[in-house]
């Protein structure tokens, strides 16, 4: 692979398994174990040990047996598997939401992206994979301990530092005011009060750029949406959530699984307008009582 091959910076291994790579071992009951391959190393189970040397040099997707004869399927971990099992300092953005953010915010190869609220680095990995080796991601995290965990998780998965990642232990508003990064294509906010950053985000984004906020509660959702509307420099914000339900399919028994990944968060997405431009007014009438008597912002009641 060439130096700029996207696979070099996406944590996507190819060819034989190598020492220093991470591998997931799965047993017949679906239990998974993540191991880092080391020459001469061993993974010990209640059914006996598995020598790392039995995996190193072999193909991905191989079945190995413990000393007691128990079979294990060995596969390089997918990004979605890694992010839900990696060490955490803060709660992670689940794969279903990370996918919606990458798609909804239209993160593309070569994009210039700002992320605020790094946490444990789960969303960071999805953003880095989307921008590729030619993009740039500036990540702001207030807590140094979270930033250290995120950096380790990202580099453990990728196997190397990403050339386009700039991790800053700093408040987003202070950072953008003191060191404006230039034209930014996308801004993703995963924080407690993203509405406090709408003004500086508007200054940083290029016309047509995308602002995406990930929030956990309906109260946060409502405040973020109204703040974007009051600013008037963005398109009408869209709010969504995604639910994932697995299905059991065995013979004639085809039914939804009893457990599902339900609510984890809401996405609020809007696009930056050109300077001085105001979007056409919404033409839908709000429900009676949607706004209190003391509300002074736009009500959406435009005829």
**Residue 222 known to bind ligand:** no
**Nearest Cα to 231, choosing from 277, 185, 266?**
277
Helices (H), the chain: 79-85, 95-104, 122-131, 144-158, 172-178, 198-204, 218-231
122 assigned ligand-binding residue: yes
Alpha-helix residue ranges (DSSP H) falling in 168-295: 172-178, 198-204, 218-231
Is 185 annotated in some ligand binding site? no
Q: How far is the C-alpha of 113 from the C-alpha of 127, rounded, in Å?
A: 8
- The answer to whether 201 is annotated as binding is no
- 120 in a labelled binding site: yes
Phi, psi of 73 (to 5 degrees): -90, 125
Q: Residue 281, annotated ligand binder? A: no
CA distance 262 to 282: 31
| Residue 121 is labelled as binding a ligand | yes
Q: Specify binding-site residues.
A: 120-123, 141, 171, 190
Q: Specify binding-site residues for S-adenosyl-L-methionine.
A: 120-123, 141, 171, 190
């Amino acid at each position: 692979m060439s130096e700029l091959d996207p696979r070099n910076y996406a944590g996507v291994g190819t060819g034989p398994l190598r020492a220093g790579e991470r591998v997931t071992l799965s047993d017949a009951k679906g239990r998974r174990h993540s191991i880092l391959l080391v020459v001469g190393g061993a993974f010990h189970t209640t059914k006996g040990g598995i020598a790392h040397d039995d995996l190193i040099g072999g193909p991905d997707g191989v079945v190995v047996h413990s000393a007691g004869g128990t079979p294990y399927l060995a596969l390089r971990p997918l990004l979605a598997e890694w992010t839900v099992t990696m060490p955490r300092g803060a709660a992670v953005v689940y794969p279903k939401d990370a996918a919606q953010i990458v798609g909804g915010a239209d993160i593309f190869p070569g994009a210039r992206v700002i992320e605020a609220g790094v946490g444990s680095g789960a969303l960071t990995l999805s953003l880095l994979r989307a921008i590729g080796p030619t993009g740039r991601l500036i990540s702001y995290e207030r807590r140094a301990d979270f930033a250290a965990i995120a950096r380790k998780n990202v580099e453990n998965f990728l196997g190397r530092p990403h050339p386009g990642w700039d991790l800053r232990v700093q408040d987003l508003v202070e950072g953008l005011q003191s060191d404006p990064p230039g034209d930014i294509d996308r801004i993703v906010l995963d924080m407690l009060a993203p509405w406090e950053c709408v003004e500086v985000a508007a200054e940083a984004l290029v016309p047509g750029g995308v602002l995406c906020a990930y929030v956990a509660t309906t109260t946060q959702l409502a405040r973020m949406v109204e703040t974007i509307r009051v600013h008037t420099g963005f398109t009408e914000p869209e709010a969504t959530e995604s639910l994932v339900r697995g299905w059991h399919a065995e013979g004639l028994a085809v039914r939804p699984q009893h457990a599902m990944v339900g609510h984890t968060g809401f996405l609020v997405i809007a696009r930056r307008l050109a300077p001085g431009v105001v979007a056409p007014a919404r033409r839908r009438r709000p429900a009676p009582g949607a706004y209190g008597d003391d509300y002074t912002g736009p009500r959406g009641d435009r005829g």
